[in-house]
Every structure is written in structure tokens, then in C-alpha cells.
Amino acid sequence: MMETIIDTKTELRLANWASVTRRSPLQEILTSASRPGIISLALGMPDENLFPSAEFAQAAQRVLATDPRALQYGPHFQPLKAQVVELMKRRGVDCREEQVFLTAGAQQGMCLLARILLEPGSEVIAEELIYTGFQQVIEPFQPKVLTVPTSLETGMDVDAVEAHLKSGARPAFIYVISTGHNPLSVSLSRDKRVRLVELARRYGVPLIEDDAYGFLSYSGELEAPLRALDEQYVLYVGSFSKIVAPALRIGWLIVPEALIKPLSIVKESTDIDSTTFPQRVLSAYLETGTLAGHIKHLCYHYGLRRDTMLEALREHFPEGSRWTTPSSGMFIWLENDKVDAAELFNTALSKARVAFLPGFVFSVGPVRLKPNSIRLNFSYCSPENIREGIARLGRLIND
Amino acid sequence: MMETIIDTKTELRLANWASVTRRSPLQEILTSASRPGIISLALGMPDENLFPSAEFAQAAQRVLATDPRALQYGPHFQPLKAQVVELMKRRGVDCREEQVFLTAGAQQGMCLLARILLEPGSEVIAEELIYTGFQQVIEPFQPKVLTVPTSLETGMDVDAVEAHLKSGARPAFIYVISTGHNPLSVSLSRDKRVRLVELARRYGVPLIEDDAYGFLSYSGELEAPLRALDEQYVLYVGSFSKIVAPALRIGWLIVPEALIKPLSIVKESTDIDSTTFPQRVLSAYLETGTLAGHIKHLCYHYGLRRDTMLEALREHFPEGSRWTTPSSGMFIWLENDKVDAAELFNTALSKARVAFLPGFVFSVGPVRLKPNSIRLNFSYCSPENIREGIARLGRLIND
């Protein structure tokens, strides 16, 4: 259930790495958790009821009616880059259009960065538990991943990063989810941000900063991303999936200008690098000036859902349960030493009809870390379903 | 002008292959040839004036008004797979929905196939002159490319393919553009199709069949693709870019069912594999049943432009010029032993304000084959501009 080895029942020879690659548990669970009647706290999906669908439809109509080149091959839509520069100011980041590279979503952004930075045998520094999509990105290169622990209060263990670098490691990059960590929900403390950037500079190692959730804030102002501290060693990954809609498949990178050309070349070989239509529609939507209000609206609703979940956890979960109170992102991380997350996952799905993700699916490497932990999503379901889902899970654990 | 080595003026270390990769001349020329006032016979672009923009806009509106999940993450849109199966019948191919894999365009389809089939050190069989985008696809794997010549009358030299296989080569695949070859414009003869598939079966080597132009026919019925002859060894690559619009970024693969899972895994790691919005809009457009008529309309207009170009070549080009009369695709291939294509390219652009592609940019490997050849596109410009462009080029050559 949790992972599937590729079935190579074909007479064709596949590349070695392809025949050992695991399918992400996310896609498997997307299937089982999206059956009717399941309350899904499993995936990191935004709620489609909160999408700006009407405004987006109007923008699409405007573009198709007025721009004959909207459906043609074409270079990146320049006005959208200017809009990204403006948007980044809201995160406290100064950047220039020449540093913006538009991608088909944050996942592609990371994939392109991995392709220009990694080669077989490279090393990478990452936390012990991270977004599985990033693990898939680096898997074809089979890098040696040097892991570091994460504090649920202050984020990545920067001392451990320094220890790796001091002992001679020269990784191709350090991967960090600085705000609204997936799956651990923590945001990196100000102090650690500064130290991490100092290390990157001192050792000449770039940081890939995954800021997919960075515009969602539930407890006041968020820390500025690492990119606000350094423009040479921080490669910033942004996404419109969580603040507008995932199906646009539009994200962006902020990188040193010298990387734009290699990125273009790799992207061109991957998908011709021509996505004028969604880029133009998104740009037309952003032109209406309603995104700032829309993000506020999202933060209000997702914040309410976070609070609803926290309250339900206090009410329904047994003593010995510990959970985080995230200031950003879409997840709460919960640990209870009496819980076996794999067992609970199966029982919850079959008996309580509730889905979540066991924490260990985020483990880097073959060892299943944190078998006592679960990741709960609070963005996708309505407050009613969150209350009901947590109550059902609580009953299961108390049984 | 024609090629650019990556500028690695960054302090960051890039992967080895990335620092030697060439930018495709197509992207460079996209820039210079799209300056105002240039008659561009250079790129393989459809004419945006022939896009079904109004019908597409209506479809987009319908989807956004009625389908709240259109902008959400989601699996491939199943109805579109059924529509691809129907479409393939028009090419004489029987396939099942389970063999259809939707991609973000044909380029991504080939990239995914390369990733699951190639590893460093693999061999590949391909023609001496092929679509540069495919060369970019395989470049990161640095395979040994075993080349074979191409007849401008009957296509790929199948004897040469057989000779490679007989002498022990076991390539990961054979790449073939069977219909409307890019850049050579030839379509593979019936006899060669049969023999190529027999070779693939006998030696257990898959064929990647690039059929991006296969629905465009200007001289009656086209030969059925290789995929009509074999479903185990032919990996078919299709595209909506030339028959609907490129900016949708939707293509498809027809492959043995056992390859669907590895393809999903690789695609998921590349871009999350979630493109519900364009897939749903395209599907809604196809539901109107107007595509067959639209393709007829395209074939009529592109056929007219082909004829216009042929007539203008007869009128304006000097003796000693030889050119093809394509039954499909978007190009005419022209050779003249007095022509130096690189020189002509620069003069044409600066003096005559006409763009085309020198044949040698399609050479596999570092040697510039066919310095006396040019590729002329007839799909993008109006008949008037085609006549004018060819007249100007003819004057330059006659000078």
C-alpha cells in the first residue's frame, strides 16, 4: 500500500535506476484517499472551493479574445516576470526580472536545478524527513544524501550542517524548506536562517530554498526567506499552486543571472519551454490586483482550519500526543509513542474512513524514521470535516 | 549566431554535462527571426491565425463554469485518453486507453522515454540529420549515436540500421520520424516501415516513432505509422501542438502497458504529473466533434502554402537547386551545391530580412553535414509572404 516497486513486466530493457525507483506514496494515496466518503487529511492540496475560479475564467476569456499569440509557441511571458518581482517584495525579497525563471510549477523548478547541479556521485545535504517529491527529483542521480535532524521548534539543525561541511563534505547543494516545512510544519528561526546563509557563503555551497508555502501566514508576519539574505548562494523556488491554483502548473525560480541560460537549455529539452497560454492568463489575473486580497482570504480560511484542527486534537487525542502549531504551510505534525503509524493508516482508512500520511513516508533513505508520527493536512477539508476526521482518528487511537 | 556554448560565469559548480551543453539554435533563431519585419521560414510553427481559438475559448469557459476540480491537482483526465484512442483510428492505429500516456507535449514524451530507456553509455540509432529537440533530449545521457543516412525519396536507410544491428550493436532504441520528417520532409516508404518493424522485433530493440506531423496530409492518404504494425516494440509519440495549438502543451504516448507506471513515476518527479486544466479544456473542445473538420482545414491551407512555395522555388531559384515535395509535415528541404548555408543565413537575415534554417544545424554530432542545404518552413507564413520570402532568397542566391 505505502510503496510500490516498479513492475517491469515488459520485454524492453529499462535504465537501471528506473527499474528500482519507487512510486511516490502520494500518488498511491491520491487514489485511495480520493474515494467517495473518505475524509482526506492526507495530501497537501489547497481547497478548490477557495480558488479564484471566476476571476481566472474572466482572465482566460480576456486573453483568448484579445491575444492571437496566446496559444502559439513563444518565449516566457515577460510581464509575468515583472509581476513575480513585485510579489517577492511581499516576502521581503528584492530581485530583478533577469533573475526570474518561470517553470511549470515548483516541482519542475527543483527538477531543473537538480539537473544542472547534480551528477552521479554528487553529495547533497537534506533533513531526515522531507517532501517526497524532492526525493524523487534527486533519485535518478543517486546522490549520497548527508542527512541532518530537524527541531520541531526552530527547524533544520544548522550545527549538523556545519559539522558535515567541516568534516570535508562539499555537497552540490543543501535543500531546505524554510517556511511551513513539509512534513514537519516548522519554520526556520531567524537565527538559523542567518547562520545557514553564512555557511553557504563560507563553503561555497548553494542552498535550494523551497518556499512553496511561504505566502501562507497564520500567526502574523513570517520571517523573510533565505533569498532575502543572499542572492548568490540561495536558489529560491516559488509556486502559484498554493496561492492561485495547482492546475496552472506555474512556479518560478529566483537565481543568479548566470544560471538562467543553463536552466533554459534544460527546460527546452524537457518540454520546449513554451507555456504562453497559462502564463498569459495568470498574468491577466494578476493584473486585476486582487491577489493580495485573495491571499488574505486564504490565510483567514486556512488559519481557521488550522485552529479547528488544533482544538479537535486537544478534545479528542489521548495524553502523550504532541503536535506542532504551525505559523505557515498546510500541515500539523503529530507524535504519539503508542501509535504505529502504518497500522493506524490502514485501520483509519478501512474503519474510520479517514486518510492521513504516516510520518515515515517522508524519511530520506530506506530506514522508516518516526514510526510514531503522522502528518495531518488542514487546508483541503472544510472545518466540519476536519472536526469529524480528527474525532474519528481520536476514537481509533483511544480504543 | 548559430550556436552558443553555455556561459558559466557563476561561482556555482554545475554538473559536467550542463557546462558543455549547447543551446538549441532554434531558441536563438526564435529570437532573431521574430523581430518585426522578418519573413520567417525558419521555425516549425503552425500559423496562429488557423488556431481554433474561438472554439477553444468556449471550451475553456464551459470547463471553468461547470467543473470545480478543473484547477485542482488531479490524475490524468481519463476521457481525453478515450479521445486519443479515437483519434489514433484516423491514423490506422488500434490501441487501448491503458496504452495511452498523456504528456506536456511531444517533447516531454520523448524526454520521458529517453529517461526510462537510456543510461550513461547507452547506444542509440538515429539518422544523420534529425530534429534538434531530440538531440537535446538524449544529450544529458551522452549516448553513443550510431547514425544512418536518409534517402530523400524513401526515408531512413534501413539497410544501414540492419548493418549496425548485425554487427552487434544493441541500442536502447532506434529514433525515427516516420512521416513528414523534420528536417528532411520525407515520409518513410511502406516497404521500409515493414522492414524496420521486423528488425525491431528480431533484435528486441524498441523504435521511438515521432509522429508530431502525422495528421497533416497534402497528397492524399498517408502511410499508417509503425505503431499500426506492432504494439510491443513501437513507442509512439503524438502531439496536439500542430493540429490544435502548441501552448496547450499536450501530447501523448502509445506504449506497452508495462511502461505506463515507470513513465508516471518519472513524470511525477518532473512536474507532479497534474495538468487537469488544459487536459479538460482540450477534451471539451474535442467533444464538439469539430477536430476532423479542423484538420481538413489545416491540410487545405498548409497544402496551399506548400504549393505556393514549390511554385515560387521553380520561379525564383537557380538551376542546380533540388528540393523535396513533401506529402506531410511543415518543411521543404533544399540543396544547391553553390550555396553555403551559414553564409546565406546571415546575408538573408541582414539584407533580405528572410529567415530559414541551415540544414547543418540538424546534424547529429559535431560535424556539420550538408553545408549546401536549407530547411524552409511553409506552415507559418501567409502565401503572400512565402512568395515574397522565396523571391528574396532566390535573388540573393542568383546574385
pLDDT digits (tens, 9 = 90+) for A153-176: 999 999 999 999 999 999 999 999
Could you tell me if residue B8 is inside a domain? no
How many inter-chain contacts (A to B, CB under 8 Å) are there? 268
Q: Indicate if A267 and A308 belong to the same structural domain.
A: no
Q: Indicate if A79 and A135 belong to the same structural domain.
A: yes
pLDDT at B156: 98
Could you tell me if residue B134 is inside a domain? yes
Residues of A in contact with B139 (CB under 8 A): 269
pLDDT at B8: 40
Split into its structural domains, chain B has a count of 2
pLDDT at A26: 62
pLDDT at A14: 79
Q: Indicate if A268 and A300 belong to the same structural domain.
A: no
A32-55 CB burial, b ≥16 within 10 A, e <16 = ebeeeebbbbbbbbbbbeebbbeb
CA B66 from centre of chain: 35
Could you tell me if residue B66 is inside a domain? no
Mutate to test the interface with A, among B50, B207, B271, B381 (most CBs of A within 10 A): B271
pLDDT digits (tens, 9 = 90+) for B72-87: 998 889 999 999 999 9
For B248, the closest of A13, A241, A277 (CB atoms) is A277
Could you tell me if residue B47 is inside a domain? yes
Does the beta carbon of B27 lie under 8 angstroms from any beta carbon of chain A?
Answer: yes
Note whether A236 and A93 are within 8 A (CB). yes
pTM as predicted: 0.93
Does the beta carbon of A105 lie under 8 angstroms from any beta carbon of chain B?
Answer: yes
Q: Indicate if B250 and B343 belong to the same structural domain.
A: no
Could you tell me if residue A278 is inside a domain? no
Collect the ranges in chain A with pLDDT lower than 50. Answer: 1-9
pLDDT digits (tens, 9 = 90+) for B282-301: 999 999 999 999 999 999 99
Mutate to test the interface with A, among B17, B63, B71, B123 (most CBs of A within 10 A): B71
For B261, the closest of A7, A15, A118 (CB atoms) is A7
Residues of A in contact with B99 (CB under 8 A): none
CATH at B201: 3.40.640.10
* Boundary (domain end) residue, out of B273, B305, B328: B273
Does the beta carbon of A66 lie under 8 angstroms from any beta carbon of chain B?
Answer: no
Domain that holds residue A109: 75-273
Does the beta carbon of B330 lie under 8 angstroms from any beta carbon of chain A?
Answer: no
CA distance A295 to A297: 5
pLDDT at A3: 36
Could you tell me if residue A383 is inside a domain? yes
DSSP letters for B72-118: S--S--HHHHHHHHHHHHTTT----GGGEEEESSHHHHHHHHHHHH-
For A64, the closest of B8, B60, B65 (CB atoms) is B60
The cell for B60 is: 475553456
Does the beta carbon of B114 lie under 8 angstroms from any beta carbon of chain A?
Answer: no
Percent of chain A with pLDDT over 90: 81
* Boundary (domain end) residue, out of A273, A308, A331: A273
pLDDT at B276: 82
Q: Which among B135, B387, B67 has a CA at the least distance from the CA of A268?
A: B135
Note whether B103 and B251 are within 8 A (CB). yes
Q: What is the interface pTM, i.e. ipTM, of the complex?
A: 0.90
Confidence class for position B15, pLDDT limits 50, 70, 90: confident
Confidence class for position B231, pLDDT limits 50, 70, 90: very high
Q: Indicate if B253 and B162 belong to the same structural domain.
A: yes
Q: Indicate if B193 and B304 belong to the same structural domain.
A: no
β strands within B296-362, DSSP E:
321-323, 331-336, 354-355, 357-358
- Smallest Cα distance from B397 to chain A, Å: 31
Q: Indicate if A92 and A140 belong to the same structural domain.
A: yes
CB contact under 8 A, B274 and A247: yes
Mean pLDDT of B26-36: 70
pLDDT digits (tens, 9 = 90+) for B124-149: 999 999 999 999 899 888 899 999 99
Q: Indicate if B376 and B248 belong to the same structural domain.
A: no
Does the beta carbon of A394 lie under 8 angstroms from any beta carbon of chain B?
Answer: no
- Smallest Cα distance from B202 to chain A, Å: 13
Q: Indicate if B179 and B256 belong to the same structural domain.
A: yes
CB contact under 8 A, A258 and B10: yes
Could you tell me if residue B112 is inside a domain? yes
Residues of B in contact with A136 (CB under 8 A): 265, 268-269
Residues of B in contact with A132 (CB under 8 A): none
* Number of neighbouring beta carbons within 10 Å of residue A106: 28
pLDDT at A84: 98
Supply the mean pLDDT for chain B. 92
- Smallest Cα distance from B310 to chain A, Å: 26
* Boundary (domain end) residue, out of B242, B273, B304: B273
Strand A150-151 with A155-156, pairing: antiparallel
pLDDT digits (tens, 9 = 90+) for B325-374: 999 999 999 999 999 999 999 999 999 999 999 999 999 988 889 999 99
pLDDT at A153: 97
pLDDT digits (tens, 9 = 90+) for B107-128: 999 999 999 999 888 999 999 9
- Smallest Cα distance from A234 to chain B, Å: 11
